[in-house]
Amino acid sequence: MLQVSLYRYNPETDNTPYMQEVQLDTGGKDLMVLDVLELLKGSDPSLTFRRSCREGVCGSDGLNINGKNGLACITPVSEAMKGGNKLILRPLPGLPVIRDLIVDMGQFYKQYEKVRPFLINDTPAPAIERLQSPEERAKLDGLYECILCACCSTACPSFWWNPDRFIGPSGLLQAYRFLVDSRDTATEERLADLDDPFSVFRCHGIQNCVNVCPKGLNPTRAIGHIRNMLLKRAS
């Protein structure tokens, strides 16, 4: 039997959130955490969580699993428990809980919006497309793969304390993705928007983001690149 500790909160009936202890017969199989949630929802339909693709592509089911943020669909229970005897599931930390394992991602998306995550190009549009050399395209590797699951930003203490002023690892990874894109001409405006004491510089390089990213990306490195671009621009 698998012991599961679940964060439960229904604002309509509960005054405060609580941890619910449940047991699940997994038949000795090593399931993914999302499978466990689906099985539990089978017996208690009021259990609420987000999910969609169930293969680590959509980024819907970011959770705090035994203390570490990750995607429920691609985290095996055995890996999450690491020899322990209980699976502990909580919502992503630092964001307001709407119900059970669902958080309000508004603040996260607001920071994403701030970096203007789209190509800006003030030159006349070419007849077919804007070309990029293979070398220029290679610079986007390790950046474009972000699925906005928020595992990194909600693992970052700087984002917990200043979610309204610090862009956070996910937003900054996206910011660098457009700063380094050869087809984008708004580099100067983008850098000017980031040059303040909070947006970038609240990153103290503790690398929780790198530790939890389910896609294996490195936001700390991207933030370092942004810092170097700011330094080059100002010195």
Total residues at the site for other proteins (CB under 8 A)? 21
C-alpha dihedral (171, 174, 178, 181), degrees to nearest 10: 160
Touching other proteins, residues 80-99 (CB under 8 A): none
Residue located via tokens 């190009």: 121
- Cα radius of gyration (the chain): 20
Among 193, 207, 221, 225, contact with other proteins (rule: CB under 8 A):
193
Binding mask 201-220 for other proteins (x = CB under 8 A): xx------------------
Stretch of 118-126, 140-148, 174-182, 190-198 lying at the interface with other proteins (CB under 8 A):
190-198
Q: How far is the CB of 74 from other proteins (least distance, A)?
A: 32
Q: Which is nearer to other proteins, 5 or 224 (CB)?
A: 224
Amino acid at the residue 121: N
Scanning the chain, the segments in alpha helix (DSSP H) are 33-43, 77-81, 106-114, 134-138, 157-161, 168-179, 187-194, 208-212, 219-234
- Residue 158 in contact with other proteins, rule: CB under 8 A: yes
Give the tokens for residue 107. Answer: 């603040």
Applying CB under 8 A, which residues contact other proteins?
158, 161-165, 192-202, 227, 230-231, 234
